[in-house]
Chain A
Amino acid sequence: MKYMLVLLAIPALLLPAACLIYIVYQALPALDVDLIFGSDAVVIGVNSVGQALWSQISGSLLMMSLACLLAMPMAASIALFHAFWASHKQKKLLTSILQVLQGIPPIVYGLCGLVVLVHLLHWGISLAAGAVILSIIILPLLASNTIHALERIPLEQTESALSLGLSKVSVITRVWMPQAWPSFLTGLLLSMARALSETAPILFTATVFSGITWPDSIFSPVTSLQTHIFYLAQEGSNEQAIHTAWASAVVLLTLVLIFSLTALYLRRYERIS
C-alpha cells in the first residue's frame, strides 16, 4: 500500500520538475543580461515585439502592486467585519461567497472588465482596468488569508484586551496586528504571486503588444510579462522569438517563486508567534 502511494506521488513531483528543467533548457539560448536590460530596438517577428523585458517586468510589477493596493483595504475590511460584527450565519455566508469567488475562472472577470471598465466606463485598455480586475481576482484569496490570520489569534486574548477597556481599534493595532502580520504578509505575497501569474483577464483589459515602455497615466495601456509570452509564442516559426518566450517564462517563474518562497519563509514566524 505504502509503495503504491509513493509510486502515485512520484509523477506529481517529477512532472513539475521536468517542466521546470525543460523551460530552463529551452530558455538558455536567450538567457543573458541583455534579455532584461538590453536595447528594446531589436525586433522579433511580424508583431515587432521588443526583445528587452525590462518594461514588461516593470509593467507586470506595477499592475500587481496597484491590484494589491486596491485589494488590501477591501480584504482587511472584510476580515474585520468577519471578526467583530458578523453573526454566525453571516460568517458562514461570507466564507461561502469567498470560496465561490475563488472558483470563478479569471477569463470571466476579464470579460466583465472588458464590458464594464473598458467599454461602459470608457477607461479603455488601461493599467487602471487591469489593476481593478486583478484586485477583484485576488480579493477572495487575500480576504480568506486575512480572516484565517485573525482567527489564529486566541479568542481569550481578544476578550482580555476588550475587558481591559481597549477600543476595537486598539485591539486591532495592539493585539491583532503584532501577531497577525506574518500570516497577513504571507497571504499578501501569495496574492502577489497569483496576480503576477494571471494572463487572461489582463489580455483584453490592460495590455498591448508593444510600443509602451512605461504608461503615461493609469488610463494608458501597459505591457506585461505574461501577455508578452503569449504574443511571442504566436511567433511559432521564429526561433529567436520562441527562445525569448521561454526566457520570459523563466523570468516570470523566478518572480512568482520569489514571492511564494518569501511567503513560505514567513510561515516560520506564524508558527513562532
Chain B
Amino acid sequence: MNTAKQNSRCSIPQTSTLNQTMVNVENLSLQMGDKHILQHVSFDLPAADITSLIGPSGAGKSSLLRCMNMLNTDWTGHIQVQHTDIRHWHGGADILRKHIGLIAQKPAVFPVSIADNVLFGLSRSQQKENTSALLQHCLQQSALWDEVKDRLDQPANTLSIGQQQRLCLARALALKPSVLLLDEPTASLDPRSKQLIELSLHELAQNIPILCVTHDLDQAQRLQGNILFMCDGKIIETADCDSLFNHPQKLETREFLRWSVCDCD
C-alpha cells in the first residue's frame, strides 16, 4: 500500500463525527454452534457520517450488520439506536428494519417494475398516496433517475447489475431510514456504478449515519469518515481515515493494510 497515495486520499475527519451518537453497540457477541462469530464488539456511530468497516473475509462484518437490523437475533450484548435498545423497539423487528436500511452485496430486485421496486417497502396505504415525488427523490439520491425516468414501468430485472444495486439503495431510501447499513455494496460492480454509489453515499452521509462494509481499502479511503477494523469477530482498531491508514496503532492493522491478511488468534 502506497502511503503517499493514501495521504492524498484521506481527508481530515469531518466535524460531523463529533455529532451525538446515533447507534451504540456495546459488548456484542454472537456464537453459531461452537464458532464465535462476534466477540465483545463495541463501537458508536455518529448521527451523520460514513463509517467503513474493513477486515479480512470471515471477520464477522456481514454478521455484525445482520445483528444490527435483527436479521440475526441470537446475539448477546446491547445495540441501541437513538438511545433505544433494538430488542425493545416499539413495534418489533419489522418496524425497526424500516429505520435501519440494509443493502446486501448482491442486488436483489423483485420481479415487478422499477417504480414498484422503489416503493416495495411502503405500506399499502402509503403506496396509494401520490408517490411520484418520493420516487423521483429516491432515484435521484441513488443517482439512477436520469437512467430510468423514461422507463419506470419496465421490469426491474432489465436493469444492469450496477443499476439494480442503485435501485436497491433507492428502495431502502424510500423508507427514510435513520441508519443505513451497506454490505459491500459495490463488490463486482463496474467502476462507473461504483463511483456513482460512492457519490450518493457522500451526499446521504450528510444527514444519516452510514456503516459500509468494504473489502476495497481504496474505497474505504475514498469514503473518508471513520474506519472500524475487524478481525476474527473482534474490533481491532477504530480511528478516522487519516490516522488508521497513515498511523495504524495495532500490529494486526499494519499487517492487514500491508498484506490484506490478519492473524489475530
A154 in the interface (beta carbon within 8 A) = yes
A156 in the interface (beta carbon within 8 A) = yes
B187 in the interface (beta carbon within 8 A) = no
* CB proximity to A under 8 Å, residues B106-125: 106-108, 110-111, 120-121
A159-B104 contact, Cβ under 8 Å, with A164-B120, A164-B171: yes
A156-B98 contact, Cβ under 8 Å, with A164-B120, A166-B121: no
In the assembled complex, the Cα of A179 lies from the Cα of B108 at a distance in Å of 14
> Please, what's the 1-or-0 string for A140-178, where 1 marks a CB less than 8 Å from any CB in chain B?
000000000000001011011111111100000011001
A273 in the interface (beta carbon within 8 A) = yes
What count of chain A residues pass the 8 Å CB interface test? 17
- Contact present for B175 and A165 (CB under 8 Å): yes
A167-B94 contact, Cβ under 8 Å, with A156-B106, A159-B71, A160-B104: yes
- Contact present for B104 and A164 (CB under 8 Å): no
- Contact present for B108 and A156 (CB under 8 Å): yes
In the assembled complex, the Cα of A165 lies from the Cα of B94 at a distance in Å of 4
B23 in the interface (beta carbon within 8 A) = no
Contact of A165 among B97, B103, B110, B111 (CB under 8 A): B97
**B107–chain A nearest beta-carbon distance, Å:** 8
B101 in the interface (beta carbon within 8 A) = yes
B168 in the interface (beta carbon within 8 A) = yes
**B68–chain A nearest beta-carbon distance, Å:** 11
A-B contact pairs, 7 of them (CB 8 A): A154-B108, A156-B104, A162-B71, A163-B103, A164-B97, A164-B121, A166-B121
Residues of chain B having any CB pair with chain A under 8 Å: 69, 71, 94-98, 101-104, 106-108, 110-111, 120-121, 168, 171-172, 175
Residues of chain A having any CB pair with chain B under 8 Å: 154, 156-157, 159-167, 174-175, 178-179, 273
